[in-house]
A and B are shown apart, each in its own frame.
Chain A
Amino acid sequence: MPSPDLSILIIDENRIRASIIEEGLREAGYARVAVIHDVNEVGRTIAQTMPDVIFIDLENPKRDTLEHFFSLSRAIQRPIAMFVDRSDGTMIEKAVEAGVSAYVVDGLKKERVKPILDMAISRFNAFSRLSRELEEARSALEERKIVDQAKGILMKTKGLSEPEAYALLRKTAMNQNRRLIDIAQSLITAANLLGP
């Protein structure tokens, strides 16, 4: 059962990822979700929103700043510690592997926090997967452009058809035990050097 009364703060320099997590938490019924992109704003935000759970991405170099802030008792009324329960190694491990760390106010019951952690971890993982797929798609597109350009050079200089040009690239790559894209790139470089 979600605990919609819990206040959650997300600190992430990556705005897209922060909004994906925020959206996930809101869909799950958590209405009190705040997002900041800079740790420097944390003092003011904590005073305003009194968060029960705080997430920060692990790439954030100001994680040490945040922890120091929590350790200053005068800065906050309620002590905040990392994760729910020190003994819950699996949860901590899952979070760190997903690239997120969670801080929870003292005394909050584990059962109330777990669904929030699960949600954030799964959204972090989904975001990494999407980023990876996007990167792969982008480089695949780049590679296709290079191969097309190399085919064009062969078609023009050797009077080959498109399938013949492609077959020649592929055969050369196999004979030299290199990747097709590398052969295509070499061909373009050579053509630029030798070209008019």
Chain B
Amino acid sequence: MSLPHLTAGFLPLLDSALLVLAHELGIAEEEGFTLGLTRESSWANIRDRTALGHFDIALVLAPMPIAANLGLTPIATPMIAPVMTGLGNNAITVSADLWARMADAGAPGDLAAGPAGQALAQVVRSTTRKLRFGVVHQTSSHNYELRYWLAASGIDPDHDVEIVVLPPPLLPEALGAGGLDGYCVGEPWNSVGVASFGARVATTKSSIWQWSPDKAVGMRSDWAEQNPDLVAATIRAVYRAGQWCQDSANHLRAAEIMAAPAYLDRPVEIVSRALTGQIDGGAQQLSIPDFYVPHAGAANFPWKSHGLWYYSQMVRWGEVGFSAANAAIAAATFRPDLYRAALAPLGVAVPAQDLRVDGDRADKHAVPAIGGTIELGPNRFFDGQIFDPDAVEAYIQSQATA
């Protein structure tokens, strides 16, 4: 009997690895389905083709399904995100010229968000030309974390700089051609900028907000309702691919698979940097072990509180209004209930809560889990703010007056 076949859309980014590995390592087949991967050229195509049913599942920017459910996207098909594809993986990369000016203003080059942001703020204040930054999409972690970093460093993202949208693979070249002064993107596109266009990594997502979410596997709500077994199998396959990818013994093999023409189409040496955490920032070589966390610290668990954090940033930057109903829609997009049910047969520990506070822990710490306890990573924001999912409105207000 042939297995059911799922078509998955993805963009060439390192954190598509969990879908790619589920396919390449035969994990999908073990979970009872086959996976066909289609590389797309824009997030808009991912969104439309998932909404229309060309893709059963897709690698999505975590805020995308929330935007769909809030009616912010053209085809507002209800979507869910029942599993995440890891934490981190992004960085903010700047041109050699901007870096030189940031270094003059005191940026130490250690990729820490605070000092780099202070230096950038000095450059912004002393330049008449507006600096231009690229992000991959409006409703993306990249847009929100770049804006978070700028705002917390005293730079108004809407007035002091210009933010434009370009797909990930085009960002390094646009910077090299002088069209951008910097960009926020997932790997390997920071390393490509450093290796091929003389760019410098200014800071990393892991420094702006430690162990923070970025992408999910998204799917239509009605498809998920009609195919509960396939949803569960997908969650298990992504979880197990993450487990494999987290093991440092597998990093080289994972880099070799991802480097292939069908996926990232870039040298293994470039692809392996984020997997191993050995980051060449251009100015310095640094070891950042939690640059990309594919699995550890409940990295695949879809916290409803993270849905709420994305929503708080959508409100903060004027994309949608605040209301209790909207907040409920955002939280309901992430589906920890489906995640727990899918993993029950594996007998692994999964977080017992749907919500958590972020920004309050600088260390790894254990939380209650179904099946024991589970260790979460540090979760600090670089400016020391705390996000309490039970006080979203107050959080939004504190950021509005800041």
Query: Which residues of A line the B interface, CB within 8 A?
Result: 58-65, 67-69, 71, 81-83, 86, 89, 92-93, 96, 101
Contact = CB atoms under 8 A, between A and B. Distances in A.
Interface stretch (B44-52, B349-357, B378-386): B44-52
B76 interface: yes
Contact of A64 (B43, B49, B54, B76): B43
A61 B167 contact: yes
Contact of B167 (A58, A62, A69, A82): A62
Contact of B44 (A69, A81, A86, A101): A101
Contacts of A67: 44, 138, 165
B176 to A, nearest CB: 15
A93 B74 contact: no
B136 interface: yes
Contacts of B76: 86
B48 A96 contact: yes
Contacts of A82: 74-75
B164 interface: yes
Contacts, number: 59
A71 B138 contact: yes
19 contacts: A59-B41, A60-B42, A61-B167, A62-B166, A64-B42, A64-B43, A64-B44, A64-B137, A64-B165, A65-B166, A65-B167, A67-B165, A82-B74, A82-B75, A83-B74, A86-B75, A86-B76, A96-B49, A96-B54
A163 B76 CA distance: 63
B235 to A, nearest CB: 27
Given A62-B166, A64-B137, A68-B164, A86 B74 contact: yes
Nearest to A93: B52
Nearest to B72: A71
B170 interface: yes
B213 interface: no
Given A58-B42, A61-B42, A64-B136, 4 more contacts: A61-B41, A62-B166, A81-B74, A89-B75
B248 to A, nearest CB: 34
B169 interface: yes
Given A64-B165, A86-B75, A92 B48 contact: yes
A155 B138 CA distance: 66
A60 B52 contact: no
Contacts of B41: 58-61, 63
A93 B43 CA distance: 17
Contacts of B44: 63-64, 67, 101
B178 to A, nearest CB: 13
Contacts of A92: 48, 52, 75
B128 to A, nearest CB: 20
Contact of B45 (A58, A69, A81, A83): A58
A63 B41 CA distance: 9
Contacts of B48: 92, 96, 101
Central interface residue in A60, A67, A81, A101, by most chain B CB within 10 Å: A67
B204 to A, nearest CB: 23
A59 B44 CA distance: 11
Nearest to A56: B44
B379 to A, nearest CB: 29
Central interface residue in A65, A86, A93, A101, by most chain B CB within 10 Å: A65
Interface string B111-149: 000000000000000000000000011100000000000
Nearest to A103: B74
A147 to B, nearest CB: 30
A93 B138 CA distance: 24
A69 B43 CA distance: 15
A96 B74 CA distance: 13
Contacts of A63: 41-42, 44-45
A56 to B, nearest CB: 9
Contacts of B136: 64
Contacts of A83: 74
B55 to A, nearest CB: 11
A3 B170 CA distance: 38
A64 B164 CA distance: 10
A86 B74 CA distance: 7
Contacts of B54: 96
A68 B164 CA distance: 8
Contacts of A61: 41-42, 167, 169-170
A120 B137 CA distance: 27
A71 B344 CA distance: 43
A81 B169 CA distance: 26
A64 B167 contact: yes
Contacts of A69: 165
Contacts of A59: 41
Contacts of A62: 42, 166-167, 170
